[in-house]
């Protein structure tokens, strides 16, 4: 029997319609004002520029206004912090996104943590991570939060399941593990240096590929009936998990690459910007 395809692209389109309606209601309450997402792009990395453009387009589709700030390759940490502080103090800006990665001379963590908690709609600050981990109000990191929304929409059970997260980055693997733990899963965190990785993966009811290496997780390691979530994307249209025709016939559900996690990452960023705007404007 074929697995359920967790279609993030279709799901994001469905949620965009709902968000358009919420933006229109908010505009009526706020005398025409709309939520604003400020994006900061430092340098000229083509992939980063593409991602920022995609996020701006997603804002416009639902009626949120994007504010694009572009800084040069030689920008210093102090100059970037100055831009972030100005946005923190701008009451018309409701969300702030610093596009990752930034040039090597910049202290990225210091700049992430300078973003005000109420405007951290991408869930990148240490304070936001800590609050989320403790079950306190905070915006979750966009990719893992998007994955949780996929699981919840398709009513895939999490509580009591064994989830294996392969990856430990501060904006994906680690918050993903905390979110699953908060939903009452039993969570194992693995990474590229985990010994006997295959053994851990074979135990997974839910497997999350977030290691950043193409097809690092082999299809034959994944047990029948598992839910397969691939957060990776690499040249050639492959993710972190080897998705084969045979695998799709024996697992319960899987995210395609592309069209699975990616669209829901951007959608979650926009949703959290809307939520921040609603809190500030209504």
Q: Please count the other Cβ atoms lying within 10 Å of the Cβ belonging to residue 127.
A: 14
Mapped onto helix, strand or coil, the DSSP state of residue 61 is: helix
Q: Which residues are paired to 228 by β-bridges?
A: 207, 254
Q: Which of 7, 55, 145, 240 is catalytic?
A: 55
Please identify which of the residues 99, 145, 242, 272 carries the catalytic annotation: 99
- Among residues 7, 119, 120, 122, the one annotated as catalytic is 122
Q: Is 27 a catalytic residue?
A: no
| Whether residue 99 lies in the annotated active site | yes
**Strand segments (E) across the chain:** 4-5, 36-42, 65-71, 95-98, 162-166, 186-190, 206-209, 227-230, 253-254
Tokens for 114, please give them. 């300078």
Strand ranges across the sheet with 4-5:
4-5, 253-254, 227-230, 206-209, 162-166, 186-190
- Kindly list the catalytic residues: 55, 99, 122
């Amino acid at each position: 029997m074929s697995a359920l395809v967790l279609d993030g692209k279709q799901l994001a389109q469905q949620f965009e319609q709902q968000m358009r309606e919420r933006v229109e209601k908010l505009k009526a309450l706020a005398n025409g004002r709309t939520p604003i997402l400020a994006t900061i792009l430092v340098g000229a990395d083509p992939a980063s520029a593409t991602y920022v453009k995609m996020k701006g387009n997603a804002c416009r589709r639902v009626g949120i206004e994007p504010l694009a700030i572009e800084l040069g390759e030689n920008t210093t940490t102090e100059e970037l912090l100055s831009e972030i502080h100005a946005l923190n103090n701008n009451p018309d800006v409701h969300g702030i996104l610093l596009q990752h990665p930034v040039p090597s001379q910049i202290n990225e963590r210091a700049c992430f943590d300078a973003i005000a908690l109420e405007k951290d709609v991408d869930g990148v600050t240490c304070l936001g991570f800590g609050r989320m981990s403790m079950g306190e109000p905070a915006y979750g990191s966009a990719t893992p939060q998007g994955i949780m929304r996929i699981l919840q929409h398709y009513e895939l059970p999490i509580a009591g399941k064994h989830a294996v997260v392969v990856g430990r980055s501060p904006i994906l693997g680690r918050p993903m593990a905390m979110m699953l733990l908060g939903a009452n899963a039993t969570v194992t965190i693995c990474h590229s240096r985990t010994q006997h990785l295959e053994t851990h993966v074979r135990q997974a009811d839910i497997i999350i590929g977030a290691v950043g290496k193409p097809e690092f997780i082999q299809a034959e390691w994944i047990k029948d009936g598992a839910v397969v979530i691939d957060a990776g994307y690499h040249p050639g249209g492959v993710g972190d998990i080897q998705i084969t025709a045979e695998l799709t016939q024996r697992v319960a559900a899987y995210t395609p690459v592309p069209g699975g996690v990616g669209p829901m990452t951007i959608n979650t960023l926009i949703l959290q910007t809307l939520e921040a705007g609603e809190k500030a404007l209504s």
